[in-house]
Amino acid sequence: MIAEPSNTPQPATVNVDSRLRFDRNELAGAFGDIGTDLPLIIGMILAAGLDSASVLVMFGLMQVFTALVYRIPMAVQPLKAVAVIVITQRIAPELLYGGGLAIGVAMLLLTLSGGIDWLARIVPRAVVRGLQLGLGLQLALLALRDYVQRDGARGYVLAAAAFVIVIALLGNRRFPPALFVIGLGNRLCDRLQSRSSADSRGQRLSLPTVHPLSLSDIVSGFVLLAIPQIPLSLGNSVLATRQIAEDLFPERRITVRKLGITYAAMNLVNPGLAEFRRATDREVSPAITPSVRAPADRSSSTARSTLQSGCFLPAYSSRQYRYFLSRCSEFFYCSRDLR
């Protein structure tokens, strides 16, 4: 929640050009959202049985898409209200995809009808902040209820250590706290599971495949997932994003209409490219339905999103994914030494 865009007055706007830029700041910025994205994505993959490779490939492609369209650090994130429901209730992947599609349709209708412009005018900023507060509380409760207690005393110690790291490095651009927290969890995971059976599935790279959705999936997804998510997305992904983009990149003239179209397009495309395995192997598909949000890191530019995608495109099975995370940690330490 710390990385959410802020509407507080900024000292200066950032001068950006339309070229893609790759430097150390961009590299650091590329990891900025990992602390928010990874827990939700992995949680959804495990809870709904999604295909991790397919999810991550689509996630990476969406990052590239927003980077090329907006040419500012426009993050793509999992839909958080949906993620909370999916993780806590272990929703079936079909329903998740149906919900994603319903959200895309609803947002498209809102945008094309002008409803989103009307909402942008009447919904006050205090309400947007309240929705974000609610989301933060909900995710914190989810962590405390479902995850921290699971490992007993060790879980509490890990949570406390992560909390201290986040507070100590809050707002630190050189050493983003999320990376340390992920590295800590990754190390612990490796220590706890190093003697367990090896992952027999091995390394693989799978491309998304077209997956038909039934009308009942879409309707059920709308009731169960879209209705809780859309108000949050209006506040968090559209109105707050427009505000932060206006504060930091005023020359870009990013409108709620454009954000709404992008949001709808991504949610219309992703559920159709869903792949999942049935109940025999609950490790399924890409019901990751991204939302658009401008990051709080004011200095990074388009390359951030692109680099983020570059990290996610080589999507492997879970064992390789942990390896990938550990490589990220090591790379971060190397980049720190370069400064």
- Contacts to other proteins by CB under 8 A: 1-2, 4, 6-8, 81, 122-127, 129-138, 141, 227-232, 234-235
Q: In terms of CB distance, is 33 or 51 closer to other proteins?
A: 33
Q: In terms of CB distance, is 137 or 192 closer to other proteins?
A: 137
Contact 54, 287 (CB under 8 A): no
Q: Which residue, 226, 248, 40, 7, is CA-closest to 128?
A: 7
Residue 7 CB, nearest distance to other proteins (Å)? 6
Residue 333 CB, nearest distance to other proteins (Å)? 27
Phi and psi at residue 304, to the nearest 5°: -60, -50
Residue 168 CB, nearest distance to other proteins (Å)? 15
Residue 59 CB, nearest distance to other proteins (Å)? 23
Q: Which residue, 37, 149, 128, is CA-closest to 83?
A: 37
* Tokens 């939700």, located at residue: 40
Q: In terms of CB distance, is 124 or 212 closer to other proteins?
A: 124
Q: In terms of CB distance, is 141 or 160 closer to other proteins?
A: 141
Q: Which residue, 241, 323, 337, 290, is CA-closest to 28?
A: 337
Q: In terms of CB distance, is 129 or 257 closer to other proteins?
A: 129
Contact 59, 76 (CB under 8 A): yes
Task: Round to whole Å and give the CA distance between 63 and 189.
Answer: 28
Contact 297, 73 (CB under 8 A): yes
- Other CB atoms within a 10 A radius of the CB of residue 246 amount to 16
Contact 40, 78 (CB under 8 A): yes
Residue 267 CB, nearest distance to other proteins (Å)? 17
Residue 131 CB, nearest distance to other proteins (Å)? 6
Residue 23 CB, nearest distance to other proteins (Å)? 27
Q: In terms of CB distance, is 230 or 273 closer to other proteins?
A: 230
Written as six digits, the tokens of 299 are 């200095």
Q: In terms of CB distance, is 231 or 314 closer to other proteins?
A: 231
Q: Which residue, 197, 210, 190, 223, is CA-closest to 273?
A: 210
Residue 194: helix, strand or coil by DSSP?
A: coil
The amino acid at residue 251 is E
Q: Which residue, 324, 55, 37, is CA-closest to 206?
A: 55
Q: In terms of CB distance, is 136 or 185 closer to other proteins?
A: 136
**C-alpha 281: how far from chain center:** 24
Residue 50 CB, nearest distance to other proteins (Å)? 23
